[in-house]
Amino acid sequence: MRFDVITIFPELIHGYLREGVLGRAQARGLIQIHAWNPRDFSDNAYRRVDDRPFGGGPGMLMMAPPLLAAIAAAREANPGAPVIYLSPQGQRLQQGAVQGFAGADGLILLAGRYEGIDERVLAAVDAEWSIGDYVLAGGELPALVLIEAVARQLPGLLGHADSAAEDSFADNGLLDCPHFTRPEVVGDVRVPEVLLSGDHARIRSWRLQQSLGRTAERRPDLLAQRVLSAREQKLLDDYRRQDGE
Ligand SMILES: Nc1nonc1C(=O)NCC1CCCCC1
């Protein structure tokens, strides 16, 4: 899958994606990352990409011509890929949309800076997405969040075959269960006995019960979106009874 990012800080993108599982995914050709710098498409000697806002106001805005030219170049290199602008004005990114994007051949991501971009750029944008209701200094981190969340869904990307499929939000819409590794005792806290039992059916039930319980306690909104099977309801009832003890 090819990701093109339009950014005045290409190294922010390449630097982060060079590491870890995403770096290995690039080396394996599972994903391709290309950054386009609007400065390379600026028609003035100083490679200027920003200017003062009409109507006044603080700060600078990104000018339309360099961004539109960079978008056109990216579209030519990544044909058919939707152009996504990351901004707090976008629709909220959730796992469902991430899985949808994972089915695309490519994505073109526009990372804004300064106080924003000239509104006329949005005529060349297919969708506007937000990673959350807060304001960052630029769209590079949101672009990286989207790339990482989508890339993790690609078959073969994660070492363990079903890791992504087992992600809490990915397959069951619940929060993740607690996880433990060696040493078996930390301070005076032992690993829950069930996880040492080797009884995999019992371990799966315990993990599901913990996810259900945690989701009920911390994100009742997520639980409300989900129909529980009779088995899941019983696990949750038992969890609540144990919790209440
Ligand atoms: N939140 C967000 N979700 O997606 N992007 C976000 C953001 O805060 N982006 C920074 C702004 C900075 C000025 C230009 C436009 C993007």
Q: What is the pLDDT of residues 130-167, one digit of tens each?
A: 999 999 999 999 999 999 999 999 999 887 755 666 66
Determine the atom of ligand 1 nearest the C-alpha atom of 114: 13
Mutate which of 91, 136, 144 for ligand 1? The one with the most ligand atoms within 8 Å of its CB, which is 136
Percent of the chain residues topping a pLDDT of 70? 95
| Ligand 1 centroid from CA 187, angstroms | 42
pLDDT reading at 169 higher than 70: no
| Ligand 1, atom 14, residue with closest C-alpha | 116
The Cβ of residue 179 has, within 10 Å, a number of other Cβ atoms equal to 8
Mutate which of 86, 92, 141, 144 for ligand 1? The one with the most ligand atoms within 8 Å of its CB, which is 86
88 included as an active-site residue: yes
pTM: 0.94
* Active-site residue, from 10, 113, 142, 152: 152
| Ligand 1, atom 11, residue with closest C-alpha | 138
* Active-site residue, from 53, 65, 82, 88: 88
- Distance, in Å, from the CA atom of 150 to the CA atom of 12, rounded to the nearest integer, reads 18
Tell me the mean pLDDT in the region 222-231.
96
SS (H, E, C) the chain: CEEEEECCCHHHHHHHHCCHHHHHHHHCCCCEEEEECHHHHCCCCCCCCEECCCCCCCCCEECHHHHHHHHHHHHHHCCCCCEEEEEEEEEECCHHHHHHHCCCCEEEEEECCCCCECHHHHHHCCEEEECCCCCCCCCHHHHHHHHHHHHCCCCCCCCCCCHHHHCHHHHHCCCCCCCCCCCCEECCEECCHHHHCCCHHHHHHHHHHHHHHHHHHHCHHHHHCCCCCHHHHHHHHHHHHHHHC
Q: How far is CA 225 from CA 172, 175, 177, 222, 228, in A?
A: 11, 13, 18, 5, 10
- Which amino acid is located at 19 in the chain? E
State the average pLDDT for the chain: 95
**Torsion angle in degrees (nearest 10) through CA of 98, 101, 107, 113:** -30
* Active-site residue, from 167, 176, 232, 238: 167
pLDDT of residue 243: 83
167 included as an active-site residue: yes
152 included as an active-site residue: yes
| Ligand 1 centroid from CA 36, angstroms | 18
